[in-house]
A and B are shown apart, each in its own frame.
Chain A
Amino acid sequence: MSEITVGVVVFPGSNCDHDTEHAVASFAGIKPVMLWHNDHDLQGAKAIILPGGFSYGDYLRAGSIARFSPIMKEVIEFAGKGFPVLGICNGFQVLLESGLLEGALSRNRDKKFLCCQTFIRAVNGSTIFTSLYPEDEVLSIPIAHGEGNYFASPEVIDSLEEHEQIVFKYTDAEGRITDEANPNGSVKNIAGIVNRRGNVLGLMPHPERASEKLLGSLDGRGLFESLFLHIAEV
């Protein structure tokens, strides 16, 4: 069986690119390829991941300058054709800035940069990114961000709910969606959303940092596994 290529975009200031590469490479039959932001070639990738970090130093707004990187033209076209695009943390911010996802991320409610383990649940287990997660399973996946406070107008939130686009929510250890379990003030505890078509996912928690026993959690693997299973089937 030939290997499936998955692209990891490298912006100046990305710092989770190699963690993501490492996590992706741990799956049999999957080969990560690093895509420099100044290139235009997706190198035959079957899925694209925008990793976490501080692209362009978070100047102006997180993700706002990376969104106009040359490779984003191809990434937006790729998403437009229905191929999977995953944005983690800063990658989620880039997806929002680029208009592939709706809403925005502002500063955390308590002003702090948060770097800690959080509990989340895949409240929508029917996406290509979450098919292997039971909806009641509580996942322990870390966050590391200063601007992860998800915001959108009430009309957009209604529409996200109506079309089942809210994919991950912050919960407590028992899986309850409470305000105390909300680390950053996100509307409705939103930790991740998908586009209407279901092929573009953005989330603040870092599944690549929960993909190895040594890191304390394997709960992030289900996301990659769901995605790679989907790609292998297409």
Chain B
Amino acid sequence: MPYIAKIKVTLRQSILDVQGKAVDHALKNLGYRTVESARIGKYIEVTINEAELAEAERIGNEISRKLLSNPVMENYTLELEEVK
């Protein structure tokens, strides 16, 4: 059965997240006084037609490093879900 790789890409803490800052600012303007901060990232779903979890995981990590994230300024997390 194929797997869905769920990849979240976020800017490293040291990188200024201007989109997150704008959203944080808007939330505070809306009166949400307990909102402390907001960060924006990307969520990517990739369906990988591999029977073995280990192989799907290997590909998921490889594509995350190679294309989906830029290790210079971003981190990623990978989760795999089997398609039933």
- Which residues of A are at the interface with B, using a C-beta cutoff of 8 A? 60-61, 64-65, 68, 96-97, 103-104, 106-111, 149, 151-153, 185
Contact = CB atoms under 8 A, between A and B. Distances in A.
B67 A106 contact: no
Contact of B73 (A68, A104, A109, A110): A104
7 contacts: A60-B68, A104-B70, A106-B15, A106-B16, A107-B16, A111-B21, A111-B22
Nearest to A104: B72
A106 B18 CA distance: 9
Given A65-B67, A96-B72, 9 more contacts: A60-B42, A64-B67, A64-B70, A106-B15, A108-B18, A111-B18, A151-B15, A151-B73, A153-B72
Interface residues of B, number: 13
B19 interface: yes
Contacts of A110: 18
Interface of B: 11, 15-16, 18-19, 21-22, 42, 67-68, 70, 72-73
Given A111-B21, A111-B22, A61 B15 contact: no
A68 B66 CA distance: 10
Contacts of A97: 70
Contacts of A107: 16, 18-19
A217 to B, nearest CB: 29
Given A106-B11, A106-B16, A109-B16, A152 B72 contact: yes
A65 B67 CA distance: 8
A151 B72 contact: yes
Contacts of B19: 107, 111
Query: Which residue among A96, A103, A104, A185 has the maximum number of chain B CB atoms within 10 Å of its CB?
Result: A104
